[in-house]
Amino acid sequence: MSSPLFEPLPLDFSNLPKLPPRQGTAHKGQFGHVWLLGGDHGMGGAALLAAEAALRAGAGRVSLMTRAAHLAPALTRMPELMTHSADSSYALAQLLQQADVLVAGPGLGQAPWGRSLLSVTTTLDKPQVWDADALNLLAHGDISPAKSLLITPHPGEAARLLRCSVQQIQQDRPQAALCLAKRYQATVILKGAGTLIATMDGDLRRCDRGHPSMAGPGFGDVLAGLLGALLAQGMVDFEAACLAIWLHAVAGEQLGSGGRGLLASDLLPVIRSLLEAHSPCLAH
Ligand SMILES: NC(=O)C1=CN([C@@H]2O[C@H](COP(=O)(O)OP(=O)(O)OC[C@H]3O[C@@H](n4cnc5c(N)ncnc54)[C@H](OP(=O)(O)O)[C@@H]3O)[C@@H](O)[C@H]2O)[C@@H](O)CC1
Ligand SMILES: Nc1ncnc2c1ncn2[C@@H]1O[C@H](COP(=O)(O)OP(=O)(O)O)[C@@H](O)[C@H]1O
């Protein structure tokens, strides 16, 4: 990965995919059920941020599968959530039949608990977003990629997935993103300044929006939940990736003008307003 051979097209902000307006008779069953898997001990917040982002971006229902210790705090913050902590892989497989979209990885950890949750999802033929520790587990090689997969590595995770250094990833990010898409048969979002979207067919886009105030914990978790919500509302991987990346980066840019100390959860109301301006809930 030495010389940049592939020049990504800039994301076409004037022509981003839209969510359709909702009928007056709409009901929650039409906007998908997102299941969030994550939040091992010490990292419950990551899964919670992703779940909150999915709710705030319009998913019809959101279920959180996490450690039992995180259920009460999660419900205190968001009573709209449905919560579970499966006792066995069999029980989880049964529960996941209800899911339309899976988001796995935020705070999942790489211990047996996280590994067993992820191993249940690999066989499910549903749209899936894998982030954070789902990618670290995938990189270990003993979990196979799911069939319909969107992966969201930061450069550290990309380096683990391609078994190279972060420096090699950053030297030629376009090639790294395309290589990940081919190797894992997935749509890829390679995060960091100048986020890239790559598809298995070789389509490559770059987003030059965003702000260094986003270099803090949880911003990737919010992106993962946002992607889940857009997939649940009917977008395909590439559409969801383009719109989510734009909403996330522009929200960060707007709030970044306030300087350091931006919280990932601060993005949520801004993402909601940007989404409404872009794809109004009601037809005008
Ligand atoms: N509140 C919670 O519960 C939270 C929980 N969280 C959860 O923690 C778990 C571990 O995830 P994590 O991302 O913190 O650790 P990890 O994968 O080792 O990555 C760090 C290394 O990767 C690299 N690197 C990253 N970005 C880069 C960039 N733009 N540009 C260049 N390099 C970059 C960089 O490598 P270096 O440069 O140091 O070699 C860096 O040291 C995971 O489950 C996550 O969900 C978090 O979401 C936080 C909030
Ligand atoms: N300097 C930056 N410029 C633009 N976007 C950034 C910058 N730093 C971080 N981000 C964005 O913030 C998010 C950070 O995600 P990630 O590294 O997975 O964090 P976490 O695991 O803590 O949620 C990514 O979407 C990334 O593109």
Q: Is the pLDDT of residue 5 over 80?
A: no
- Ligand 1 centre distance from Cα of residue 97 (Å): 31
Q: Is the pLDDT of residue 24 over 90?
A: yes
Q: What is the pLDDT of residues 82-124, one digit of tens each?
A: 999 977 889 999 999 999 999 999 999 999 999 999 999 999 9
Rounded mean pLDDT of 158-172? 98
Q: Does residue 221 have its Cβ closer than 6 Å to ligand 2? A: yes
Q: What is the pLDDT of residues 232-266, one digit of tens each?
A: 999 999 999 999 999 999 999 999 999 999 999 99
What stretches of 104-188 show up as alpha helix (H) in DSSP? 112-121, 132-140, 155-162, 166-171, 173-184
Task: Report ipTM for this prediction.
Answer: 0.97
Nearest CA to ligand 2 atom 18: 220
* Confidence category of residue 284, pLDDT binned at 50, 70, 90: confident
Q: Does residue 212 have its Cβ closer than 6 Å to ligand 2? A: yes
Look at residue 3 in the predicted model and tell me its pLDDT. 46
- Helix and strand numbers (H, E) in the chain are 11, 10
Give the 3-state secondary structure of residue 78: coil
Q: Where do the structural domains in the chain lie, given as residue ranges?
A: 29-278
Q: Does domain 29-278 have CATH number 3.40.50.300?
A: no
Q: Does residue 214 have its Cβ closer than 6 Å to ligand 2? A: yes
Look at residue 142 in the predicted model and tell me its pLDDT. 86
CB 65 within 8 A of CB 84: yes
Poorest-pLDDT segment among 13-17, 192-196, 235-239: 13-17
> Minimum-distance ligand to the CA of 107?
1
Known binding residues: 46, 107, 154, 191-195, 220-221
> Which one of 191, 268, 271 would you pick to mutate in the ligand 2 pocket, going by the greatest count of ligand atoms within 8 A of its CB?
191
* Confidence category of residue 176, pLDDT binned at 50, 70, 90: very high
Q: Is the pLDDT of residue 2 over 90?
A: no
> Which one of 157, 219, 255, 265 would you pick to mutate in the ligand 2 pocket, going by the greatest count of ligand atoms within 8 A of its CB?
219
- Ligand 1 centre distance from Cα of residue 108 (Å): 13
Q: Is the pLDDT of residue 275 over 90?
A: yes
Distance CA 58, CA 173 (A): 32
